[in-house]
Amino acid sequence: MSDDNNQQQGSNEAIQLIDEKKHFAKDTIAYFSKCLSSTNGKDDETTSDYHVISVFGSQSSGKSTLLNILFNTSFDTMDAQIKRQQTTKGIWLSHTHTINTTNSSQTPTLSDMFILDVEGSDGSERGEDQDFERKAALFAIAVSEVLLVNMWEQQIGLYQGNNMALLKTVFEVNLSLFGKTVKSKSDHKVLLLFVIRDHVRVTPMDSLKETLVNELEKIWTELSKPDECKDTTLYDFFDLEFIGLGHKLLQYDQFVKDVKQLGDSFNKLPVEDGSLFKENYHHPLPLEGWSMYAENCWEQIENNKDLDLPTQQILVARFKTDEILNECFVKLITEYNLEINSMVKDMDLLTSFLQKIKNLAVQEYDQHASRYNQVVYQEKRTELLNKIDSKFLETINTFLEDLSTDLLLTFESNVNAKDPSSPSFIEKLNSNKTIIIGKFSSVLLNFQNLDLLSETDGISDIFRERVMESYDKLREKELNSIISKSNKTISNKIKEMTIFNLSHPSLKVWDIILANFESINESTLKKYRVKKDVNNDDDMDYDFRLGLSEEDNRLAYKRIRSHAWYSLSTTVRDYLKEDTVVSILRDRFENKFRYDHNDAPRLWTNEDEIDQAFALAKEHALEVFTVLSLAKTSYNIEIIPDVSSPLGNESDDDDDNDDEEKEYEDELGIYHTNRFAHIFNELQKEKILSQFRRQINLTVLDAKRSIITTTTH
């Protein structure tokens, strides 16, 4: 600002909001801060309690003079600019907190007031200025609540007067601004306050008013309106008020009195009678957003873009609420990082801390952001809450992770612990499962009730899955222990029983072994046997009392039975080595050959006797050789384990393996074999027989020698 501008210092100092080159002042925000800090008790930039007033009228019609007297501002006036003859063009802005009223020329204002003084040249003079005039009108209407239309009394009724051209401009730009919102029934209006200067009261105010209204309505009618505004009246957009001021030079006292009365009606709350302000003149923006809003509006106007005020308000609201959101969030994060590590172990400490910083952040956001567009404010509020929640989620997840681990450990140790009331394993498993799921849910619910967690379903599902994983593992461990205990018992019994029977084989040895095999299985698994059909004693099934499915119970039983077969098979094969069989045969032979019916040793008298006994004994011995080399029942049926292909018939299709002797237990402990019954192959049998023969031949030879010896002596 130039030194000779005669601007006063202080908050009433005016700044050039838009300069002659149509640039928007960059330091508006600083100006606002300065204005507000100079306002006693009203240093809150979030206030919506402010008014914006503009003045319009032809050049040198005393606008700035009036504003300065009325609002104690210090706009440039002609009188102070005698040297230059012209004031500085542009739009000037001044803050005021005093107003000239009938009480005192310096009455404090009820609200902050921002006054715009539009300093142009006469619109009709030059094309370029018309452009400025139009833009200035658009801007003033876009940002102000009250538009003072300043005119000399003698101009009224002269349609060619500049004022009326200006009003036509005002109406036109208004339509371009608000025309579109007519249908959406925005109740926003601007007050056009006609200030008749040098009103010497020869013509009564009412008649001046009538003339003006007629002219205004005529302008409105003749205005080319967009289709959607065809049926609108000027009263859809404007309220009209008229006042006259006495002649400043000829009736100075009257002039001052009139100005003071005008001041009175500016210093009332919108709800009070006689107030020039109304709620629907105000734009829903807190003061801190105003300068941004004004700048955006000017930019759009200057670039000849469609100025859409609601959109501009939303843009400002977005920007500002975002700024507020970030400030609040950064504060929260700082506090959070500072304290969180000491809180994370204790549920109550943690929740109260999180709640505290969340509430603080949200309160602060509400305080600053709630005065912006409500939709934007709410959207951003949700965004803030989501941001906070997802930040908190990291911590809450860590907490819940630790809790899960603790609960799962407790679960396992409780299930494994010996309970004096000795419930069954499955009862322990189920009751402990319910307990820990309940504990976890109650913690989740607590977080949720305190508004610290919005989505809990996913978290609780994951925990449930982990519990079930552990549940299944514990149950499988228990099942495996049942199976291996049963296997051990059955194996031992089978081994003992089988070796006993094979060492003194009878012809029915396999019938006996099979019968024992079944009874060992049955007696060992007795406690797990259940009747499938109550009416049928033979139809038995197994239930290992672990809440397993029928299918899993069946599979578990199959594993035990299969292992039993495996034990039988390995016992048989371990025991029936070629040498063992030879010696069993020889024992059997010798018992028959050497001893008589009364188990007395025989004394041979002749060779015939020996040959006869030899043939009988050999036949007797060999009777069991068939039995020992091929396991079959007395009905001549080869023994085939009933679990050889428990996992379906796939090995049946595999012809290549049929001849190959294969015996093994798979990873489930299921016994596979295709040659259980075939204990020896032909070669082995041949070897056994030849050894057996060799040995009994020796026995016979000995016997014969014993005759010879007796006869020789």
Distances (CA, A) of 618 to 97, 503, 601, 642: 136, 18, 17, 35
* Residue given tokens 């501002």 in the structure block: 73
Distances (CA, A) of 612 to 466, 592, 608: 79, 12, 6
Cα 116 to Cα 398: distance, rounded to the nearest angstrom: 57
Binds 96: which of Mg ion, ligand GDP, none (CB < 5-8 Å by kind): none
Nearer to ligand GDP (CB atom), residue 64 or residue 498: 64
At residue 123, φ and ψ (nearest 5 deg) are -55, -30
Q: Find the shortest distance in angstroms from Cβ 63 to Mg ion.
A: 5
State yes or no: residue 63 binds ligand GDP (CB under 6 A): yes
Contacting range for Mg ion; rule: CB under 5 A; set: 81-89, 249-257, 410-418, 540-548: 81-89
The distance of Cα 291 from the centroid of its chain, to the nearest Å, equals: 38
- Residue from 6, 60, 410, 645 that binds ligand GDP (CB under 6 A)? 60
Distances (CA, A) of 671 to 243, 476, 566: 111, 20, 6
Q: Find the shortest distance in angstroms from Cβ 67 to ligand GDP.
A: 8
State yes or no: residue 260 binds ligand GDP (CB under 6 A): no
Cα 386 to Cα 361: distance, rounded to the nearest angstrom: 12
Cα 477 to Cα 549: distance, rounded to the nearest angstrom: 16
- Residue from 97, 168, 197, 433 that binds ligand GDP (CB under 6 A)? 197
State yes or no: residue 199 binds ligand GDP (CB under 6 A): no
Longest distance between any two alpha carbons in the chain, whole Å: 187
Nearer to ligand GDP (CB atom), residue 152 or residue 319: 152
Of 180, 166, 140, whose CA–CA distance to 283 is shortest?
140
Binds 88: which of ligand GDP, Mg ion, none (CB < 5-8 Å by kind): none
Binds 62: which of Mg ion, ligand GDP, none (CB < 5-8 Å by kind): ligand GDP
Contact present, 695 and 586 (Cβ < 8 Å): yes
State yes or no: residue 64 binds ligand GDP (CB under 6 A): yes
Distances (CA, A) of 169 to 276, 538, 582: 23, 107, 129
Cα 181 to Cα 175: distance, rounded to the nearest angstrom: 9
State yes or no: residue 62 binds ligand GDP (CB under 6 A): yes
Nearer to ligand GDP (CB atom), residue 64 or residue 674: 64
Cα 10 to Cα 13: distance, rounded to the nearest angstrom: 5
Element (H, E) at 112: strand 107-119
Binds 673: which of Mg ion, ligand GDP, none (CB < 5-8 Å by kind): none
Nearer to ligand GDP (CB atom), residue 197 or residue 433: 197
Q: Find the shortest distance in angstroms from Cβ 162 to ligand GDP.
A: 11
Q: Find the shortest distance in angstroms from Cβ 59 to ligand GDP.
A: 5
Question: What one-character-per-residue DSSP string does 259-326 give?
Answer: HHHHHHHHSS-TTSTT-S--GGGS-S--HHHHHHHHHHHHHHHHTT----HHHHHHHHHHHHHHHHHH
Give the other-Cβ count within 10 Å of 644's Cβ.
19
Distances (CA, A) of 625 to 576, 685, 694: 11, 9, 16
State yes or no: residue 651 binds ligand GDP (CB under 6 A): no
* Residue given tokens 């020329």 in the structure block: 105
Query: Could you say which residues in the range 83-142 bind Mg ion, by CB under 5 A?
Result: 87
Binds 162: which of ligand GDP, Mg ion, none (CB < 5-8 Å by kind): none
At residue 49, φ and ψ (nearest 5 deg) are -90, 75
Cα 469 to Cα 193: distance, rounded to the nearest angstrom: 79
Q: Find the shortest distance in angstroms from Cβ 148 to ligand GDP.
A: 11
The residue number whose beta carbon is nearest to ligand GDP equals 62
Contacting range for Mg ion; rule: CB under 5 A; set: 58-66, 164-172, 455-463, 502-510: 58-66
- Residue from 12, 39, 61, 109 that binds ligand GDP (CB under 6 A)? 61
Q: Find the shortest distance in angstroms from Cβ 62 to Mg ion.
A: 8
State yes or no: residue 78 binds ligand GDP (CB under 6 A): yes
Of 176, 6, 142, whose CA–CA distance to 79 is shortest?
6
Binds 561: which of ligand GDP, Mg ion, none (CB < 5-8 Å by kind): none
Of 75, 118, 119, whose CA–CA distance to 96 is shortest?
75
371 to 400: interface string for ligand GDP, x by CB under 6 A = ------------------------------
| DSSP state letter for 700 | H
State yes or no: residue 112 binds ligand GDP (CB under 6 A): no
- Residue from 112, 145, 172, 198 that binds ligand GDP (CB under 6 A)? 198
State yes or no: residue 155 binds ligand GDP (CB under 6 A): no
Binds 666: which of Mg ion, ligand GDP, none (CB < 5-8 Å by kind): none
Nearer to ligand GDP (CB atom), residue 197 or residue 320: 197
The distance of Cα 583 from the centroid of its chain, to the nearest Å, equals: 78
Tokens of 546: 């672990």
Contacting range for Mg ion; rule: CB under 5 A; set: 56-64, 535-543, 609-617, 654-662: 56-64
Cα 339 to Cα 337: distance, rounded to the nearest angstrom: 6
Residues forming a β-bridge with 112: 50
90-99 and 14-18 beta bridge pairing: antiparallel
State yes or no: residue 65 binds ligand GDP (CB under 6 A): yes
Of 581, 582, 563, whose CA–CA distance to 663 is shortest?
563
- Residue from 39, 77, 107, 486 that binds ligand GDP (CB under 6 A)? 77
Contacting range for ligand GDP; rule: CB under 6 A; set: 76-84, 188-196, 381-389, 677-685: 76-84
Q: Find the shortest distance in angstroms from Cβ 381 to Mg ion.
A: 44
State yes or no: residue 64 binds Mg ion (CB under 5 A): yes
* Residue given tokens 């606008």 in the structure block: 63
Q: Find the shortest distance in angstroms from Cβ 64 to Mg ion.
A: 3
Q: Find the shortest distance in angstroms from Cβ 146 to ligand GDP.
A: 17
236 to 255: interface string for ligand GDP, x by CB under 6 A = -----------xxx------
Cα 57 to Cα 164: distance, rounded to the nearest angstrom: 9
State yes or no: residue 72 binds ligand GDP (CB under 6 A): no
Tokens of 615: 């043939």
State yes or no: residue 58 binds Mg ion (CB under 5 A): no
State yes or no: residue 5 binds ligand GDP (CB under 6 A): no
Query: Could you say which residues in the range 653-712 bind Mg ion, by CB under 5 A?
Result: none
State yes or no: residue 683 binds ligand GDP (CB under 6 A): no
The residue number whose beta carbon is nearest to Mg ion equals 64
Binds 197: which of ligand GDP, Mg ion, none (CB < 5-8 Å by kind): ligand GDP
Of 50, 64, 267, 261, whose CA–CA distance to 145 is shortest?
50
Binds 618: which of Mg ion, ligand GDP, none (CB < 5-8 Å by kind): none
Nearer to ligand GDP (CB atom), residue 150 or residue 486: 150
Contact present, 143 and 52 (Cβ < 8 Å): yes
| Site size with Mg ion, rule: CB under 5 A | 2
Interface contacts to ligand GDP, rule CB under 6 A: 57, 59-65, 77-79, 197-198, 247-249
Interface contacts to Mg ion, rule CB under 5 A: 64, 87
